[in-house]
């Protein structure tokens, strides 16, 4: 009884936040995704909008979108307290180049990213414009990812991705 409650609690608090760099404004179009991003880790990309999806609704987090290279210059700050997603839309600043999140109401020792957070993650998944076709892009070099993302941005379907067919998820 106690054990199953504990197990449920652990499963319920597992990190499942996916951060999408979308090729179009308003979180539309193809995307490259950091799946299961941990707090205080900067997911890097380059696109006009960024979506957080799968945010546990019992978490209170702040998510920051940055421009100017990685988590360089703050561009958008989102407060999620019960919402399972948010879209950081385009604004007058250049493309989003990085994003990370942190917990709002926990003790500092559990990780509130102020200055000095330097850990980065690269997107591990490419999602096509149809929103359902996904490829594993982990370990590909940056130029290759940029090239594949550009093809996806043009609205291409799975037929354009024969070279990474074996990486389809
Ligand atoms: C902004 O992002 C889009 C979509 O990824 C890309 O096509 C474009 O080249 C980017 N702009 C710059 C200035 O990097």
- What would the pLDDT profile of 113-147 be if each residue is shown by its tens digit? 555 678 999 999 999 999 999 999 999 999 999 99
Atom of ligand 1 nearest to the CA of 150: 7
Q: What is the pLDDT of residue 118?
A: 85
Whole-structure pTM value: 0.87
- CB 34 within 8 Å of CB 16: no
Is the CB of 68 inside a 6 Å radius of any atom of ligand 1? no
Q: What is the pLDDT of residue 116?
A: 63
Residues forming a β-bridge with 78: 63
What's the CA gap between 106 and 149, in Å, rounded?
36
Q: What is the pLDDT of residue 159?
A: 96
Domain carrying residue 68? 14-167
Q: Between the CA of residue 149 and those of 36, 45, 51, 113, what are the distances in Å?
A: 20, 10, 16, 29
Distance (angstroms) between ligand 1 centre and the Cα of 27 equals 14
Is the CB of 49 inside a 6 Å radius of any atom of ligand 1? no
Q: What are phi and psi of 121, to 5 degrees?
A: -130, 145
Residue 7, domain member (yes or no): no
Q: What is the pLDDT of residue 74?
A: 94
Q: What is the pLDDT of residue 5?
A: 44
Residue 4, domain member (yes or no): no
What's the CA gap between 24 and 155, in Å, rounded?
11
Residue 156, domain member (yes or no): yes
- CB 38 within 8 Å of CB 113: no
Domain count, the chain: 1
Q: What is the pLDDT of residue 9?
A: 44
Distance (angstroms) between ligand 1 centre and the Cα of 26 equals 14
Q: What are phi and psi of 114, to 5 degrees?
A: -100, -130
Atom of ligand 1 nearest to the CA of 23: 4
Residue 34, domain member (yes or no): yes
Tokens of 40: 């205080």
Q: What are phi and psi of 162, to 5 degrees?
A: -55, -35
Residue 8, domain member (yes or no): no
pLDDT in tens, the chain (169 residues): 444 444 444 444 455 899 999 999 999 999 999 999 999 999 999 999 999 999 999 999 999 999 999 999 999 999 999 999 999 999 999 999 999 999 887 655 445 555 567 899 999 999 999 999 999 999 999 999 999 999 999 999 999 999 999 999 9
What's the CA gap between 122 and 35, in Å, rounded?
10
- In the block, residue with structure tokens 């941990």: 38
């Amino acid at each position: 009884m106690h054990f199953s409650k504990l197990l449920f609690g652990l499963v319920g608090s597992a990190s499942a936040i996916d951060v999408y760099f979308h090729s179009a404004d308003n979180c539309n179009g193809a995307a490259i995704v950091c799946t299961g991003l941990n707090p205080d880790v900067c997911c890097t990309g380059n696109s006009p909008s960024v979506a957080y999806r799968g945010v546990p609704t019992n978490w209170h987090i702040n998510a920051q979108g940055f421009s100017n290279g990685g988590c360089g210059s703050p561009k958008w700050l989102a407060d999620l307290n019960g919402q399972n997603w948010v879209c950081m839309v385009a604004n007058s600043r250049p493309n989003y180049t990085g994003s990370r999140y942190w917990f709002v109401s926990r003790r500092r020792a559990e990780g509130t990213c102020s200055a000095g957070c330097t850990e980065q993650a690269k997107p591990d998944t490419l999602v096509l414009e149809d929103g359902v076709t996904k490829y594993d892009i982990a370990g590909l070099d940056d130029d290759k990812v940029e090239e594949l993302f550009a093809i996806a941005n043009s609205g291409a379907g799975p037929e354009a991705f024969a070279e990474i067919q074996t990486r389809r998820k």
